[in-house]
Chain A
Amino acid sequence: MTELDFEFLRGYLKQRSGLALTVEKRYLVESRLGPVCRRFAAQSLHHLIATLRAPHGRDLERAVVEAMTTNETFFFRDRIPFDLFRDVVLPEVLARNAARRRLRIWCAAASTGQEPYSLAMLLQEAAPRLAGWQVDIVATDISTEVLEKAKLGLYSQFEVQRGLPVQWLLKYFTQQGDQWQIAASLRAMVEFRQLNLLQGFESLGAFDVIFCRNVLIYFDAPTKSEILARFGTSLAPGGALLLGAAETVIGLTDRLMPNPTHRGLYGHALARPPAALRAAAG
């Protein structure tokens, strides 16, 4: 792979997924695009990139973007955001939406499903308080491949060992050979959809809670600003945005602000959101 190839690939990924491929991450290209070369019968990375330069099909574009996207995740990753959701965010939403009894949650980078299913388990534990409520968990990711795995809800022993309490493993999963499958009732709580955050997501509607953790770190500052501003629109009045520990809204948008008490939690900067937002949350 030549310097020109690498520069082309950087621009290509930036344009199509927002991914900022830094020089320090150059080493990832070979390991991740090797399998794509084999799949598309390219003799080398140079040949693969030459194919990308010419008009090509969506399958190749998707394969390259998916291969370069990091999908590491596990159940209850980082724990604190889930504690915040259970102890702070959920009680507030339950009080605020008590009249219409509806709760909408969006996992904006769902990967293989551990985050939305972690939330589904927490909601299941809170089931008595949610009796009669309509609860939507919308889980999106840029990669159709990881979403297919997420829909199956089938995880290896290694995957369930990371973060999932053993009591919940026994309660919410069934053993399928060497793997574990999450209960059908929990799978039914989550709607998985392919979505590129660079494209519009207004059609998803307004959400009381948005989880978007460890995604913005891969984008450059203007892209982060744009996505955060649009999260501001998608967030229902009083709603909560949860970002990763290394992410923030500060200096990137004036529409959102950190929660003064709880690190990692963000809400609207305006005390009273504009009428358009209130209508969108309707």
Chain B
Amino acid sequence: MSQPETTCLVVDDSAVIRKVARRIIEEIGYAVSEAEDGDAALELCAKAMPDFILLDWNMPNKDGYAFLQELRRTEAGRHPKVVFCTTENDVGAIARALRAGADEYIMKPFDRDILTAKLEQVGLPQRVSA
């Protein structure tokens, strides 16, 4: 019997970032879905909760912070791991994101090594050898 597929949701208003993240995460060995803002991401989560979310912080409509607060209120114990992703490295912003329920933080631009390391840190080891 095959294992249930581990799924990652990439939430970012930049199609380029989504494409780069998708490629890396699929290479690591996980299935990827995409959302361009917090509202679209919440809809996807309501249908099928992912195991991991790579979350942009600054987005139109519903931003990363608002999405994360709502996700943690409604996730009902399923607790997907959330790595928030921003162009800033301000201590206050990082601490605020952690308080809102983020598990890890990554600064843009990221590469395969960094994203792989962060996924491992939140418990998603690489499935496909590099």
Contact = CB atoms under 8 A, between A and B. Distances in A.
B89 A166 contact: no
Contacts of B106: 161
Contacts of A31: none
Interface string A148-172: 0000000001100111011101100
A158 B107 CA distance: 8
Interface in B95-113: 95, 98, 104-107, 110, 113
Interface in B22-59: none
Nearest to A79: B120
How would you classify the secondary structure of chain B's contact residues: helix, strand, loop or mixed?
Answer: helix
A162 B113 contact: yes
A44 interface: no
Given A157-B107, A161-B106, A166 B98 contact: yes
B91 interface: yes
B121 interface: yes
A163 B117 contact: yes
B115 to A, nearest CB: 9
Given A170-B94, A175-B89, A165 B107 contact: no
A59 interface: no
A73 B89 CA distance: 22
Contacts, number: 33
Interface in A26-63: none
A175 B94 CA distance: 12
A161 B117 contact: yes
A86 to B, nearest CB: 15
B87 to A, nearest CB: 11
B108 to A, nearest CB: 10
Interface in A156-194: 157-158, 161-163, 165-167, 169-170, 175, 178
Looking at B91, B98, B117, the one whose CB has the most chain A CB atoms below 10 A away is B117
B114 interface: yes
B62 interface: no
Contacts of A175: 89-91
Contacts of A169: 94, 105
A157 B120 CA distance: 18
B118 interface: yes
B110 A161 contact: yes
Given A157-B107, A170-B94, A170-B95, A163 B121 contact: yes
B105 to A, nearest CB: 4
Contacts of A74: 117
A186 B105 CA distance: 23
Interface in A119-174: 157-158, 161-163, 165-167, 169-170
Contacts of A157: 89, 107
A158 to B, nearest CB: 7
Interface of A: 74, 79, 157-158, 161-163, 165-167, 169-170, 175, 178
Ranked nearest first, the 7 interchain pairs of A and B with the lowest CB-CB distance are A166-B105, A161-B114, A157-B107, A162-B117, A166-B104, A157-B89, A175-B91
Interface of B: 89-91, 94-95, 98, 104-107, 110, 113-114, 117-118, 120-121
5 contacts: A161-B117, A163-B117, A166-B94, A169-B105, A170-B91
Given A169-B105, A175-B91, 4 more contacts: A165-B104, A165-B121, A166-B94, A175-B89
